[in-house]
């Protein structure tokens, strides 16, 4: 396997950090990008730290230029940067949704637009975009996050169609619940005396339980590292437990009304909510 030069955006914690470490373990030259590295946070083992804010275009372009100056090429881009707020959609502040879109979708697009020109010039490359199982179906109180990840799915599909002629391959990663994500980027919002309060408590308790019992992030890291190392990487990469994979199948098979009932029964245990 040839060693590659890889930029991982959003590599300070969680899945992004696990991906960066797995790539470095495989012998790739990995630039780990995150805002927190500007404040002196230690990068993932074996990686080079880049202060990277995906919401700032000039910062993103400067990061790519640093890699090109030092390595002469960029073989793969992995976009992991994301933020997350759980809230009833009725009560979600518009600015919160705007911020999630700015990081999760527009920030991703900004990284892609900076990396594609050198990839085209060198005759190929690999773009890895982090979606989620929630990019395939939605769940309660994660609606805003699901919106951003559905956007990643659409973006990745169109990008693959457009960039393939230049030798650039696109992989959309769809992880299920994983342990160990940074709570700094996982927030909640609910109004005082909200009519959703009881349902929100039940639903978010279930979400926290599933995440705390989810896959280790290293498993996702290894799966992505294997994909980056392939000559013909997959267009889609689901990394999830069999139970969560079954939810994807049910979403495809069941009428939407029946699937929504199934999801409601999973997250809400009583009719009181």
Catalytic residues, by residue number, are 12, 131, 145, 149
Whether 129 and 173 have beta carbons less than 8 Å apart is answered as: yes
Contact 3, 30 (CB under 8 A): no
Q: Centre a 10 Å sphere on the Cβ of residue 242 and count the other Cβ atoms it contains.
A: 7
Whole-angstrom Cα distance, residue 168 to residue 115? 11
Q: How far apart are CA 268 and CA 273, in angstroms?
A: 7
What angle in degrees, to the nearest 10, is found between the helix axes of 57-71 and 107-122?
A: 30
d(CA 147, CA 88): 13
**How far is it, in rounded angstroms, from Cα 192 to Cα 110?**
37
Q: CA of 103: how far to CAs of 28, 223, 237, in Å?
A: 26, 24, 22
CA 26 to chain centre: 21
């Amino acid at each position: 396997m040839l060693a590659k030069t890889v930029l991982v955006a959003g590599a300070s914690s969680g899945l992004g950090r696990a991906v960066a470490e797995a790539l470095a373990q495989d012998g790739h030259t990995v630039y780990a990008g995150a805002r927190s590295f500007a404040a002196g946070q230690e990068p993932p083992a074996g990686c080079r730290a880049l202060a990277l804010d995906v919401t700032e275009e000039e910062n993103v372009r400067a990061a790519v230029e640093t890699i090109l100056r030092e390595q002469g090429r960029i073989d793969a881009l992995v976009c992991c940067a994301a933020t997350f707020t759980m809230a009833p959609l009725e009560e979600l502040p518009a600015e919160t949704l705007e911020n999630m879109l700015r990081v999760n979708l527009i920030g991703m697009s900004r990284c892609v637009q900076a990396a594609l020109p050198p990839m085209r010039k060198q005759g190929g490359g690999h773009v890895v975009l982090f979606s989620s199982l929630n990019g395939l179906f939605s769940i309660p109180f994660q609606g805003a996050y699901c919106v951003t990840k559905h956007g990643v799915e659409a973006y990745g599909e169109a990008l693959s169609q457009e960039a393939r002629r230049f030798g650039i391959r696109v992989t959309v990663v769809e992880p299920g619940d994983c342990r160990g994500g940074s709570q700094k980027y996982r927030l909640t919002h609910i109004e005082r005396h909200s009519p959703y309060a009881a349902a929100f408590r039940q639903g978010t308790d279930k979400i926290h339980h599933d995440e705390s019992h989810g896959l280790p992030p290293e498993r996702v890291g290894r799966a992505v590292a294997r994909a980056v190392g392939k000559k013909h990487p997959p267009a889609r990469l689901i990394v999830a437990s069999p139970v969560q994979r079954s939810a994807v199948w049910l979403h495809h098979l069941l009428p939407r009304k029946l699937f929504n009932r199934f999801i409601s029964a999973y997250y809400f245990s009583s009719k009181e909510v």
